[in-house]
Structure 1
Amino acid sequence: MRYTIHIISLIVALVGAQPVDDASLIGDLFPTEKSDDFMKNYVEVTTPKGQSYGALEKCGEGSSEGVNICVPYHLCDGVTKTVIEDGSTNGFGLIDIRFGGECEHYLDVCCGLNKKDDMKNPNVTPEPSVDPLKPTSTSTTTTARPVTSSTTMQPTPRPSSIKCGIRNPNGIDFKITGNKDNEAEYGELPWMIAVLRTNYQPSKNESLALCGGSLIAPNVVLTGAHCVANLQLDEYKVRAGEWDTQTEKERLPHQERAVIQAIIHEKYAPNVLYNNIALLILDKPFNQADNIGTICLPSQNENIDSRKCLASGWGKNVFGLHGSYQVILKKIELPMVSFQQCQSALQTTRLGKRFNLHSSFTCAGGEQGKDTCTGDGGSPLLCPDSTNRGRYVQSGIVSWGIGCGEENIPGVYANVAKFRNWIDDKLSRLNINSNYYTI
């Protein structure tokens, strides 16, 4: 079984110099098969969880009845192992996303009842206290069952000032175990955005999830032009802070915003996806939270050459009808591929020897079973900053590919470094500060 993550893979039918009308080309680029529901109908694509022996007592049953109760992890004090009601603990520890345990949901833990509390509703997660980030023109300072362990894994500390590209490799609140299928840690990639349909109608065989994207300022999302070019502003919205699409038991809720302006590159070519980049301006900034942050952007024409880049998303694990969308956000490590090497590799496919890769693209991948795929379009390709390996820079935007995870055939991405000046210019006109995405 190939453990791939995937985000819109666009199947290119551009063969040699043969003429083809835009409509048929678009049909080939964007498969019509759809997922029914971003939150409820995604399929869990993980190795099956271990089965219990059936004789084990569940939490709150038998001898533990009236003594213990299953509650969301952040409502159980990590030191006293007793229930709290204010969500003041972030529950640092290990949570197994696959192995059967004492509680029905893997984000619930078996916790001791505090006799002083009546525990009327221990499952209510309080809203976190957050302050909105307000971009201005002025300078600024920069579903399985759980098994928990007493082992403590501290999350990556977040900077006190606003900084971009800070990955949380150990997650926030807890670190997952049993993640054999490239699952990202909770809060590991805080810039990840889901672009969703607003007027979702499953009867029309629509998909709620349209694309991925990245947060580059508190009120700006970077995505692919192909994701939104044919949509009205009221037809889609964006979500930040998402991780597991089938639960809301995390301590920090996801946040959604409306889009009030879509800035699509003037030279975007929908038939061949040249200059495939768009900026989404939101109705209000996302509130600052541990699971929401911005990604850094490279300087204009910066050459990024790394074998440790990351792609992420909730897209399919395998291309075609047999592929399943992901429940938990996935990540995959990919190497960058040089422009000439990528063009030569693509010329060996059905694109033919006369195919020329446009200068607005960059490439990554080419390893068997490791690629972005259907459902991942618009999502970021991230590479370590050459001067600070703990910081990440967005080198690409998922655009298209020949299948998913084909050996020696890289995936193709919009080259973000080619558009840095364009991004700065568009946002400066809106008085949005570039400090949010500048190293």
Structure 2
Amino acid sequence: MRRLIFVFVIIHSCIISKAQDQIQFVKTDEDKATVTNVKCGANNPSGLVFRFGNGLADFGEYPWMVAIIKISDTSSTQWSDKDYLSAGTLIHPSVVLTSSYGYEKIKPNELKCRAGEWNKKAEDENYLHQERNVRRIVTHKDYFKDSFYNAVTLMFLEKPFDLNEAPHVGAACAGQALPEPGTQCFGTGWGNGAFTNESDILKKIPVNLLSVADCETKMRETRLGEIFRLHESLTCASSADDTCKTEVGAPLVCPVKGESTRYVLYGLSAYRIQQDGAPCAYVNVPAFYSWIGERMAEEGFKSDSYTYVP
């Protein structure tokens, strides 16, 4: 009997040890612990329930996708196009990374973030979306609206998203250095905004990263003219059919070499000149990797949630 008990204790300890290798505990504002998957950037390549093609993401395929919404007077949870402001990326259960454009005069208590959304017109998906109010907005001190320089913003939430029993919600990894030009990546979004084709279902758009030289050459052929220089806070990508445009703040993620189900965030949709052949500009996330970590630390959060670990 004692031998059986001893064996059980060993097995139980091994199970606990293995489980602890897969999770980490994140301190929240309420000083409670919530569990989140250590492996950021893990997508659901086959979808959790639905399978789609033709430029549409599968359900839960990009679990870090966030919709930033203006809080309305109604208590309805149904999607409202007029209240949807832009996209964002979940990098921690309590933190959303997005572009700064459009938030210059908006207060935190006017906003909420929605994670786990897919079909914005459906209310009967197997896993429901979650919403959290914004507690604090932190924008880069050198943000220049007119040229989209340093357009990076962190939104700290009143309470964390619940990642338990929510496989369609997860954090993205943040890139520390841009991949090589020519790398195929994906932009995601519903297409809300000027000059974009809207979709009820989340879109995924394949794009190819451009070098600085190629980006500047293509941009100089637009109304921006010969004086255009790509600012270090921006990067560039293009798509074969000029559909790289998505709503402001939408994530640009690239696959990790050798890992079919891991992606890293390298950009946030910034702008596109409405002209054939013009590439799309994105906020260069790696350029702000240290800034993100510093601002997170000021709020008492570690960088583990968005740090890529093979």
TM-score range, shorter chain: 0.7 to 0.9
Identify the residue that residue 273 of structure 2 maps to in structure 1: 402
Alpha-carbon distance change, 358 to 225 in structure 1, aligned in 2, over 3 angstroms: same
3-state SS of the aligned residue for 1:413? strand
Structure 2 distance, partners of 1:384, 1:306, is: 13
What is the identity percentage for the equivalent residue pairs of Structure 1 and Structure 2? Answer: 33
Task: Check whether the contact 2:87–2:250 (CA below 8 A) recurs between aligned residues.
Answer: yes
2:26 equivalent among 135, 146, 152? 135
Shift of 1:161: 4.1
**What are structure 2's unaligned runs of at least 5 residues?**
1-23, 75-79
Q: Secondary structure at the match of 1:227?
A: coil
Q: Does 1:218 align with 2:93?
A: yes
In 2, the alpha carbon distance for the partners of 1:398 and 1:392 equals: 17
Superposition RMSD on alpha carbons, in Å? 2.6
Structure 1 residue 304: Cα displacement: 4.5
Aligned mates of 2:25, 2:157 — CA distance in 1:
12
Matched residue, 1:365: 238
For 1:337 and 1:218, the matched residues in 2 are separated by: 32
Are residues 395 and 306 of structure 1, via their aligned partners in 2, closer, same or farther at CA, if it must alter by over 3 Å? farther
Match of 2:293 among 394, 401, 424: 424
Which of 168, 171, 185 is 1:309 aligned to? 185
Structure 1 206/188 Cα, relative in aligned 2: closer, same or farther at 3 Å? Answer: closer
Deviation at 1:229, TM superposition (A): 2.2
Matched, 1:162 2:38: yes
Task: Tell whether the 8 Å contact from 2:242 to 2:278 is kept in structure 1 after alignment.
Answer: no
1:329 is aligned to 202
Counterpart AA for 1:176: R
Matches within 5 A, 1:196-275: 196-199=69-72, 207-275=82-150
Deviations 1:274-326 (A, max 9, x none): 00100000000000111100100112x44454532000101159x64xx6521
**Compared with structure 1, are the counterparts of its residues 170 and 366 closer, same or farther at alpha carbon in structure 2 (3 Å cutoff)?**
closer
Q: CA deviation at 1:364?
A: 0.6
Q: Is contact 2:188-2:202 (8 Å) kept?
A: yes
The residue aligned with 2:15 is: none
TM-score by length of 2: 0.82
Q: Quick check: 1:304–1:395 contact (8 Å CA) kept in 2?
A: no
CA distance in 1 between partners of 2:254 and 2:243 (Å): 16
1:384 positional shift? 1.0
CA shift for structure 1 position 247: 1.1
Q: Tell me the CA shift for residue 208 of structure 1.
A: 1.0
Q: 8 Å contact 1:367–1:407 — kept in the other structure?
A: no
Q: What is residue 15 of structure 1 aligned with on the other side?
A: none
- Would the aligned equivalents of 1:312 and 1:331 in 2 still touch at CA under 8 Å? yes
CA distance in structure 2 between the aligned counterparts of 1:379 and 1:350, rounded to whole angstroms: 24
User: Is this contact kept in 2: 1:368–1:407, CA < 8 A?
Assistant: no
Q: Answer 1 or 2: which has greater strand percent.
A: 2
Amino acid of the residue matched to residue 194 of structure 1? Answer: A
Query: Aligned pair in 2 of structure 1 residues 304, 229: CA closer, same or farther (>3 Å)?
Result: farther
CA shift for structure 1 position 227: 3.4
Rounded to whole Å, the distance in 1 between the matches of 2:81 and 2:208 is 34
Residue range with higher mean Cα deviation, 225-234 or 346-355: 225-234
Checking the alignment, whether the CA contact within 8 Å between 1:366 and 1:407 is kept in structure 2 is no
Question: How far apart, in 2, do the equivalents of 1:358 and 1:280 lie?
Answer: 24
Q: Report what 2:251 is aligned to.
A: 380
SS at match of 1:226: coil
The 1-side partners of 2:183 and 2:259 are apart by 15
CA distance 1:216–1:304, shift in 2 (3 Å): farther
CA–CA separation in structure 2 for the residues paired with 1:248 and 1:357:
42
Alpha-carbon distance in structure 1 between the residues aligned to 2:42 and 2:180: 18
Separation in 2, partners of 1:296, 1:402: 29
Q: For the Cα contact (< 8 Å) 1:193–1:214, is it kept in 2?
A: yes
User: In the superposition, relative to structure 1, how do residues 402 and 259 fare at CA in structure 2: closer, same or farther (>3 Å)?
Assistant: same
Read off the aligned partner of 1:294 and give its amino acid letter: A
- The question of 1:393 aligning with 2:264 is answered yes
Aligned residues of 1:267 and 1:275 also touching (Cα < 8 A): yes
The 5 Å alignment of 1:6-405 reads 135-136=26-27, 161-172=37-48, 174-177=49-52, 179-180=53-54, 182-199=55-72, 207-288=82-163, 289-299=166-176, 301-316=177-192, 320=195, 324-373=197-246, 376-386=247-257, 388-403=259-274
TM-score (norm 1): 0.59
CA distance in 2, matches of 1:161, 1:264: 27
Contact 1:310 1:383 in 2 (8 A): yes
* Contact 2:206–2:239, Cα closer than 8 Å, also in 1: no
Name the CA shift for 1:200/1:337 in 2 (closer, same or farther; >3 Å).
farther
Which one has the bigger helix percentage?
2
What SS is found at the alignment partner of 2:213? helix
Indicate conservation of the 8 Å contact 1:192/1:213, yes or no: yes
Contact 1:367 1:409 in 2 (8 A): no
Taking the aligned partners of 2:109 and 2:25, their CA distance within structure 1 comes to: 23
C-alpha contact 1:252 1:291 (8 A) present in aligned 2: yes
Instruction: Give unmatched runs, 5+ long, in structure 1.
Output: 1-132, 143-159
2:64–2:169 contact (8 Å) kept in structure 1 = yes
- How far does residue 257 in structure 1 lie from its aligned partner after superposition? 0.5
The whole-number CA distance in structure 2 between the counterparts of 1:355 and 1:341 is: 12
